[in-house]
Structure 1
Amino acid sequence: MAADRSRLEVWGDPIAHSLSPALHSAAYAQLQLPWEYGRRRVDDIGFAGELSGLDDSFRGLSCTMPLKGVAHAASVWRDARAEATGAVNTLLLTSDGPRGWNTDVGGIVRALADAGITSVDRARIVGAGATATSALVAVAELGARDVEVLARRPDAVAPLTALGERLGLVVTAAPLSDADRHPVTVTFATLPGSAAVDTDIADTLAASGGLLFDVVYGHGQTDLTRAWGRVGARTLDGTGMLLQQAVLQIRVFATGDVDTPLPAEHDVIDVMRRALVGG
């Protein structure tokens, strides 16, 4: 990789709300890396053209919705988590082409560990999009063998059911109104922050839902977080996942390896956490 590759960006649509520039810039300053990190509004139609137009000053990209599938397709190499999910959110730009990682899975695992959860028995996932796929792989890594996926269209769960079979998981699909009332360790909410959930349904989910991991951030309380609040159960929003997946991205950008810790990584995480609160 060229030594002068010092530019990085987060791409997606929408992108103005992204906290990634604050997180990455704080980390680079702590690590004394002379890199700059910006943002660019790019949709899936324009992705290939924007990618081919980058010059050698670019080191890497963070890819958010709706680009994780096209970033996967553009990668000349992918890590195991990207291969499992069909989603890439981290591109390291090399002379041989983009190398792709999915750091969302590791971000989920690390955010749950911060909340004291290092193993999962049963899990529930609300929604069936790209983040749901990463959540499924994450709970498989944490030992789950039984996952219920609730979606407005149960047929949308078919790819998750197939992935579950490859991972050794039993994935069952149901509409939101017909959730299994068996207790679960964690419920992942992967719906948009503005998505409406009927109060009775939300309360039913909260009664047996364990920890709520609502992956959205910046939208205030959702219908599900309010329901968990009514029963006094614990909730996490998406900022913990955002922080931890960014740490793994920076490992990739700095070392080329997601498993190689950063120098004094605890200090890096501390300054990133402060930037997140400030952002």
Structure 2
Amino acid sequence: MVSKVVDARRAAVLGSPIAHSLSPVLHRAAYDALGLTDWSYDRFEMDEAALPGFLEKLGPEWAGLSLTMPLKRAVIPLVDEISETAASVDAVNTVVFAEDGRRIGDNTDIPGMVAALREHGIEQVDSAAILGAGATASSALAALARICTGEVVAYVRSETRAAEMRQWGERLDVDVRTADWSDAAQALRAPLVIATTPAGTTDALAAAVPERPATLFDVLYDPWPTELAARWSMFGGAVVSGLDLLVHQAVLQVEQMTGRSPVPLEAMRRAGEKALAAR
């Protein structure tokens, strides 16, 4: 009995709101497939003010944490080190607790985007378009820094957002040009379109999908498909979904937290699809 208590490991996702998160479903599916019967994965509603106290109370049974909004930047001063990937966008979505007690922050969203695109045959593009600005758009830019050899056009709603995207481009060494959202239909002709906007924002663009679209990466997964993704598929274009991203970034988290590889991506994907179908 004592051995079981010592061997049991814990992980969780933190954020606000958190009730909708699929992370518990994905991580638990990985534990089941890997035979990690003593591992558990929970979710906690958490804001920035509560985060320091929560971290201080964690015991040695904790292997790691997944972080969503609004904690991805708030956690940075609370960790001992962060990866270059996380530092590049000032966002940590993964904290792993080392054996010596150090808290190590990383960002699996960026390599998760690259892996999701690679799974769909996209390893390099000569240009791309981003719909939207903000935290997800900056992660998209960081992913494009790895696979895009030319210009990235970001379609935004304000000059403030445009300036932010240009600054991210300079920081990430990506050739970024900004355009007004009123011209967003032009984005749909790019070799790769990454939609980072909230649900419903791109619905009006569905009618502008070209006859032979290339690849759409829509980071949403609920509701799915979006009107844009459905129209894109109808016209024969390749579609990468938010669930693809969620699964790939979760695979990297499970690898870091458990030290196990390979991680059962397909089992995690099936669990995510089943959970979404039940909503």
Same fold (TM over 0.5): yes
The alpha carbon displacement at 1:61 in A equals: 0.4
Sequence identity (%): 38
Judged with a 3 Å threshold, the aligned counterparts in structure 2 of structure 1 residues 208 and 11 are, in CA distance, closer, same or farther, namely farther
For residue 241 of structure 2, the aligned residue among 226, 237, 241 is: 237
The alpha carbon displacement at 1:231 in A equals: 4.1
Q: 1:182-201 maps to which residues of 2 (within 5 A)?
A: 183-193=189-199, 195-197=200-202, 199=204, 201=205
For residue 24 of structure 2, the aligned residue among 21, 26, 36 is: 21
Letter in 1 for 2:144: V
Are 2:166 and 1:170 equivalent residues in the alignment?
Answer: no
Output the CA distance in 2 between the equivalents of 1:208 and 1:65: 36
Judged with a 3 Å threshold, the aligned counterparts in structure 2 of structure 1 residues 22 and 159 are, in CA distance, closer, same or farther, namely same
Output the CA distance in 1 between the equivalents of 2:72 and 2:43: 16
Judged with a 3 Å threshold, the aligned counterparts in structure 2 of structure 1 residues 36 and 78 are, in CA distance, closer, same or farther, namely same
Output the CA distance in 1 between the equivalents of 2:54 and 2:210: 43
The alpha carbon displacement at 1:154 in A equals: 3.3
Count of residue pairs brought into register by the alignment:
267
The alpha carbon displacement at 1:224 in A equals: 2.8
Output the CA distance in 2 between the equivalents of 1:239 and 1:141: 21
Q: Which residue of 1 aligns with 2:226?
A: 222
Higher deviation after alignment, 111-120 or 167-176:
167-176
For residue 156 of structure 2, the aligned residue among 151, 157, 170 is: 151
Q: Which residue of 1 aligns with 2:108?
A: 103
Judged with a 3 Å threshold, the aligned counterparts in structure 2 of structure 1 residues 47 and 80 are, in CA distance, closer, same or farther, namely same
**Structure 1, gaps ≥5 residues long:** 256-261
Judged with a 3 Å threshold, the aligned counterparts in structure 2 of structure 1 residues 114 and 197 are, in CA distance, closer, same or farther, namely closer
Judged with a 3 Å threshold, the aligned counterparts in structure 2 of structure 1 residues 75 and 202 are, in CA distance, closer, same or farther, namely farther
Indicate conservation of the 8 Å contact 2:165/2:178, yes or no.
no
The alpha carbon displacement at 1:180 in A equals: 7.9
Match of 1:169, SS state, is: coil
Judged with a 3 Å threshold, the aligned counterparts in structure 2 of structure 1 residues 250 and 146 are, in CA distance, closer, same or farther, namely same
Post-superposition CA distance 1:218-276 (Å, at most 9, x none): 21333432453564433222000101001111111123xxxxxx43x26x122212212
The alpha carbon displacement at 1:44 in A equals: 2.6
Post-superposition CA distance 1:51-106 (Å, at most 9, x none): 22323322110001221111233222111110101111000124443210100011
Q: Which residue of 1 aligns with 2:33?
A: 30
Q: 1:65-214 maps to which residues of 2 (within 5 A)?
A: 65-94=69-98, 95-179=100-184, 181=186, 183-193=189-199, 195-197=200-202, 199=204, 201-204=205-208, 210-214=214-218
Higher deviation after alignment, 240-249 or 141-150:
141-150
Judged with a 3 Å threshold, the aligned counterparts in structure 2 of structure 1 residues 198 and 10 are, in CA distance, closer, same or farther, namely closer
Output the CA distance in 2 between the equivalents of 1:206 and 1:69: 38
For residue 269 of structure 1, the aligned residue among 265, 269, 272 is: 265
Could you tell me the TM-score, scaled by structure 2's length?
0.86
Output the CA distance in 2 between the equivalents of 1:38 and 1:218: 20
Post-superposition CA distance 1:171-197 (Å, at most 9, x none): 11122112483742211111112x334
Indicate conservation of the 8 Å contact 1:104/1:134, yes or no.
yes
For residue 10 of structure 2, the aligned residue among 7, 24, 40 is: 7
Post-superposition CA distance 1:16-39 (Å, at most 9, x none): 111111111111122222210011
Q: CA RMSD in A?
A: 2.3
Indicate conservation of the 8 Å contact 1:10/1:39, yes or no.
yes
Judged with a 3 Å threshold, the aligned counterparts in structure 2 of structure 1 residues 151 and 46 are, in CA distance, closer, same or farther, namely farther
Judged with a 3 Å threshold, the aligned counterparts in structure 2 of structure 1 residues 66 and 91 are, in CA distance, closer, same or farther, namely same
Match of 1:68, SS state, is: coil
Output the CA distance in 1 between the equivalents of 2:162 and 2:211: 23
